[in-house]
Amino acid sequence: MDVVLIDSGGANIGSVRYALERLGASAVLSADADTISRADRVILPGVGAAAPAMARLRELGLVDLIRALEQPLLGICLGMQLLFESSEEGDVECLGLLPGRVRRMPASQGIRVPHMGWNRLSRRSDSALLDGIDEGAHAYFVHSYAAPLTADTLASSAHGSEFAAVVGRGRCLGAQFHPERSAAVGARVLENFLRGAAA
């Protein structure tokens, strides 16, 4: 199986690659349109900010390519946020594969932003991406912006207020948490994705 990690400049690319290798999948890091379009599975990782990430994808000429992909696509952390229509972070237009606007998480007493740490997942919809993951399982998050709860939310989590933790529509999937840092839960999500899970 050909797995391609889109070279979006995210700092988590190496750790995602190692997580896939532990599952027996060799992933190629690439910004080449032909390599990405021929892959069996495509992953859009990301750590950083929405506006620079979208600027990089535009500079590489990959925005329309990603929008047109027919194979399973998994966005991770910022990569998941980029699947939505827009982000408040830099007031930027994103890929538009999922409806909704990503917004900054509100801070309040006892609620620090960025949100960093282990949080429970609450399943909201049946999906093969979540096969084998128990209700209330913990995953590891690091983020200041979050996607809204929509009909495409497969699982939610809460930090002050609820937000989309796992999303999916057909071949387009996303995890706000870091599977590569979420122990058995993250490994299972990646394994389900490699097996061809769809929403």
* Residue 135 identity: E
Cβ partners under 8 Å of residue 2, min gap 6: 28, 38, 39, 40, 41
Q: State the residue for tokens 């998480």.
A: 105
**Exactly one of 115, 159, 180, 191 is catalytic; which is it?**
180
Catalytic residue flag (residue 180): yes
**Exactly one of 115, 143, 159, 178 is catalytic; which is it?**
178
Whether 5 contacts 45, CB under 8 Å = yes
Catalytic residue flag (residue 138): no
* Residue 16 identity: V
Tell me the two tokens of residue 97.
């594969």
**Exactly one of 77, 89, 94, 159 is catalytic; which is it?**
77
Q: Which residues are catalytic?
A: 77, 178, 180
